[in-house]
Amino acid sequence: MFEAKLTEGLILKKIVESIKDIVTDVNIDISPSGISLQAMDSSHVALVSLNLSMDGFEHYRADTNMVLGVSIANLAKVMKLADNNDQITLQADQEATHLKIIFENPKTERTTEFNLNLITIDSEHLAIPETEYSSVVTINSGEFSKICKELFSLSETVQITTNTDYVQFSVEGEVGSGQVRLGHNDSEKKEDQTILEVSESVQQQFAIRYLNMFNKASTLSSFTRLCLHQEQPLVVEFKIDNLGVLKYFLAPKISD
Amino acid sequence: MSGQQSIMKFFGSK
């Protein structure tokens, strides 16, 4: 038996919106300590990893580990039934064939229920090695979204360079070439801060269209954390207050 | 996509 109730259901709605363009069918792993999922995009360039702790739920019960195979596209359609102020409860029996999703609005007394059919997914679970990232950049999520969006209109690829003084996003395309450079900024206004933690400089190239898809999660968190290592995929991380973390991994491009 | 590496190159199967 699994049951989890989230008071701020909007968070779950936003999570589904933030991953639906990247992954299609996903195994959701339920454990007594929380909910997690890991899935690659169809071209095996990016990987989504979500971890939600039971502590963030108003009520959480999972007697055993369970795997719930879900079509994210269909889950997104069901989530559209939810009002932004709804509480969301997820329920599944042992050996379940469907996931029951209940939306409740205590103010308007409206309740919506949907039984989403589960599917069997044969997906590969990848082992993500523990990595000591040599550059970690914490940046306002809205600002990072904007930078990626605008640069994508100029080039498909961005080169991210870090050093102890700044992080630089540079593009080169038919239109021309240029860069956005952000220095370390720990101003009093927290939302303006850009925090650089660089032990070793990194220079890598990435497909901007993936970054734009990841940035849908910017509504979940005021800050985006970029973790870089010269030999590893980029991690774009969004912390979800009191509940967990949504991470996207993106394999770098190599210059021709 | 030219020059695009696969995520599977970095993360092995469990």
ipTM score of complex: 0.91
Is the pLDDT at A255 greater than 90? The verdict is no
Q: Does A44 contact B8 at a Cβ distance shorter than 8 Å?
A: yes
How many beta carbons lie within 10 A of that of residue A21, not counting itself?
16
pLDDT digits (tens, 9 = 90+) for A193-225: 999 999 999 999 999 999 999 999 999 999 999
What is the per-residue pLDDT for A16?
A: 98
Q: Give the mean pLDDT of A45-49.
A: 97
**Which of A124, A208, A210, A231 to substitute to test the interface with B, most B CBs within 10 Å?**
A124
Is the distance from CB of A116 to CB of A70 less than 8 angstroms? yes
Q: Does A232 contact B14 at a Cβ distance shorter than 8 Å?
A: no
Is the pLDDT at B9 greater than 70? The verdict is yes
Instruction: Please tell me whether residue A96 adopts helix, strand or coil conformation.
Output: coil
Pick the residue from chain A with its C-alpha nearest to B13.
A126
Q: Does A256 contact B4 at a Cβ distance shorter than 8 Å?
A: no
* Residue A123 C-alpha, separation from nearest chain B C-alpha, in angstroms: 10
Q: How many helices (H) and strands (E) does chain B have?
A: 0, 1
Look at the block and give the residue holding tokens 């990016």: A46
Instruction: Please tell me whether residue A196 adopts helix, strand or coil conformation.
Output: strand
Q: Does A126 contact B5 at a Cβ distance shorter than 8 Å?
A: no
Residue A188 pLDDT grade (very low, low, confident, very high; cuts 50, 70, 90): confident
Phi and psi, residue A8, nearest 5°: -95, 80
Give kind and range of the element (H or E) at residue A148.
helix A141-152
The amino acid sitting at A119 is I
Mean pLDDT of chain A: 96
Q: Which residue has the higher pLDDT, A28 or A186?
A: A28
What is the per-residue pLDDT for A191?
A: 85
Which chain A residues are within 8 Å of B8, Cβ to Cβ? 40, 44, 126
Q: Does B7 contact A252 at a Cβ distance shorter than 8 Å?
A: no
**Which of B2, B9, B10 to substitute to test the interface with A, most A CBs within 10 Å?**
B10
Is the distance from CB of A140 to CB of A229 less than 8 angstroms? no
What is the per-residue pLDDT for A2?
A: 97
Pick the residue from chain B with its C-alpha nearest to A255.
B3
Q: Give the mean pLDDT of A18-46.
A: 96
What is the per-residue pLDDT for B1?
A: 46
Q: Tell me the residue length of chain B.
A: 14
What are B's interface residues with A at a Cβ cutoff of 8 A? 1-14
Residue A256 pLDDT grade (very low, low, confident, very high; cuts 50, 70, 90): low
Q: Tell me the residue length of chain A.
A: 256
Any B CB within 8 A of A131 CB: no
Residues 6+ away with beta carbon under 8 Å from A77: none
Is the distance from CB of A52 to CB of A36 less than 8 angstroms? yes
